[in-house]
């Protein structure tokens, strides 16, 4: 994707006066959450964090916010049997998230959108989001962007699978040079993998799995061979549109119901 660098919304590409002006105009920060873990022979280890960064940037354009440097790593012990994986403990990850976003709250950021593309981060992000709301007074919405992608594109792409078409499209929309569709090999059996993936995504019963090989012995499954840059860019736009629309409404509802930051500061007795 070609991006107009003059209009960057990545926090670390902006200057201090630009950040200050942004917080004065619309104090929205977006934290991309993902991971660095093996994604088979055809996708980069940073697939999940590339996905959340590039979607976050388009959402930031739509909602007038900035994308924080949240760090590439996440919580992914399940993928540790493979060399291409680096995991943080849940405690470390929570602290990184709280201290990163909490720093911006001190400078005036009020709205926090946590945009996540890695299922292993979900419990830690829920705890961090609570802390950022209750202790730092931020109005917080978390979106599981990988599930938004599955809702919009799952039917067409064989569902959300580890290393499959949806994940290939997300990287193609950002860094097509990192996608190696010519190296696709050893996909795990999809029917077995789907059965296990479904089990860990049910609302009522939640088994804990030791490692990814229970789902897919070769580390990945799906059918990414037909993914194209054009389709990736379309998916990126559609996901960002959906997230921006829903989150704009959610922040409006939260402001109305909770009175925003001032209300939580009153409740906790903190000085404004």
Q: Which is nearer to Zn ion, 67 or 78 (CB)?
A: 78
Q: Which range, of 147-155, 159-167, 184-192, 201-209, touches Zn ion by CB under 5 A?
A: 159-167
| Distance in Å, CB of 184 to Zn ion, minimum | 15
Residue 4 vs residues 1, 57, 178, 240, 242: alpha-carbon distances, Å: 10, 11, 21, 17, 22
Is-contact 10 58, C-beta < 8 A? Answer: no
Residue 144 vs residues 9, 43, 95, 115, 215: alpha-carbon distances, Å: 21, 21, 20, 6, 21
| Distance in Å, CB of 243 to Zn ion, minimum | 18
Number of residues that bind Zn ion (CB under 5 A): 3
Q: Which is nearer to Zn ion, 84 or 259 (CB)?
A: 84
Q: Which range, of 65-73, 165-173, 216-224, 234-242, touches Zn ion by CB under 5 A?
A: 165-173
* Cα-to-chain-centroid distance, residue 199: 22
Q: Distance between CA atoms of 97 and 200, rounded to whole angstroms?
A: 24
Question: Which helix (H) or strand (E) element contains residue 115?
Answer: strand 111-116
| Distance in Å, CB of 127 to Zn ion, minimum | 22
Q: Distance between CA atoms of 158 and 190, rounded to whole angstroms?
A: 10
b/e sequence 200-226, b meaning 16+ C-beta within 10 Å: eeeeeeeeeeeebeebbebbbbbbbee
Q: Which of 178, 147, 130 is nearest to 242 (CA)?
A: 147
Q: Which is nearer to Zn ion, 47 or 53 (CB)?
A: 47
Return the residue nearest Zn ion (CB atom): 48
Q: Which of 39, 32, 1, 38 is nearest to 167 (CA)?
A: 39
Tokens of 23: 């917080």
Is 165 a binding residue for Zn ion by CB under 5 A? The answer is no
- Residue 91 contacts by C-beta under 8 Å, 6 or more apart in sequence? none
Is-contact 57 3, C-beta < 8 A? Answer: yes
Q: Which range, of 17-25, 48-56, 89-97, 127-135, touches Zn ion by CB under 5 A?
A: 48-56
| Distance in Å, CB of 208 to Zn ion, minimum | 19
Q: Which of 147, 133, 137 is nearest to 203 (CA)?
A: 147
Using CB under 5 A, which of 9, 46, 48, 164 touches Zn ion? 48
Q: Which range, of 1-9, 46-54, 60-68, 135-143, touches Zn ion by CB under 5 A?
A: 46-54
Length of the chain counted residue by residue: 272
Q: Which range, of 39-47, 54-62, 197-205, 256-264, touches Zn ion by CB under 5 A?
A: 39-47
Q: Which is nearer to Zn ion, 141 or 146 (CB)?
A: 146
Q: Which is nearer to Zn ion, 56 or 102 (CB)?
A: 56
Q: Which is nearer to Zn ion, 47 or 144 (CB)?
A: 47
Q: Which range, of 25-33, 44-52, 151-159, 227-235, touches Zn ion by CB under 5 A?
A: 44-52
| Distance in Å, CB of 40 to Zn ion, minimum | 10
| Distance in Å, CB of 238 to Zn ion, minimum | 19
Residues that bind Zn ion (CB under 5 A): 47-48, 167
């Amino acid at each position: 994707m070609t991006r107009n660098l003059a209009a960057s919304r990545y926090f670390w590409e902006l200057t201090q006066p630009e950040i200050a002006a942004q917080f004065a105009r619309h104090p929205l920060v977006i934290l991309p959450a993902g991971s660095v873990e093996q994604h088979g022979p055809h996708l980069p280890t940073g697939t999940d964090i590339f996905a959340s960064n590039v979607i976050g940037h388009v959402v930031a354009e739509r909602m007038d916010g900035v994308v924080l440097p949240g760090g590439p790593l996440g919580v992914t012990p399940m993928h540790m049997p493979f060399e291409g994986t680096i995991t943080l403990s849940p405690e470390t990850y929570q602290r990184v998230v709280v201290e990163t976003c909490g720093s911006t709250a001190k400078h005036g950021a009020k709205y926090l959108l946590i945009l996540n593309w890695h299922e292993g981060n979900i419990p830690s992000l829920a705890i961090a989001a609570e802390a950022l709301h209750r202790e730092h007074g931020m109005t917080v919405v978390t979106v599981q962007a990988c599930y938004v992608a599955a809702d919009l594109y799952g039917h067409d792409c064989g569902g959300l699978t580890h290393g499959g078409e949806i994940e290939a499209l997300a990287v193609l929309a950002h860094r097509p040079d990192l996608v190696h569709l010519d190296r696709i090999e050893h996909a795990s059996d999809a029917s077995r993998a789907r059965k296990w993936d479904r089990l860990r995504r049910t609302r009522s019963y939640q088994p804990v799995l030791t490692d990814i090989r229970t789902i897919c012995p070769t580390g990945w499954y799906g059918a990414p061979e037909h993914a194209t840059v054009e389709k990736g860019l379309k998916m990126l736009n559609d996901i960002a549109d959906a997230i921006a629309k829903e989150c704009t409404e959610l922040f409006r509802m939260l402001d109305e119901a909770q009175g925003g930051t001032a209300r939580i500061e009153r409740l906790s007795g903190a000085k404004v």
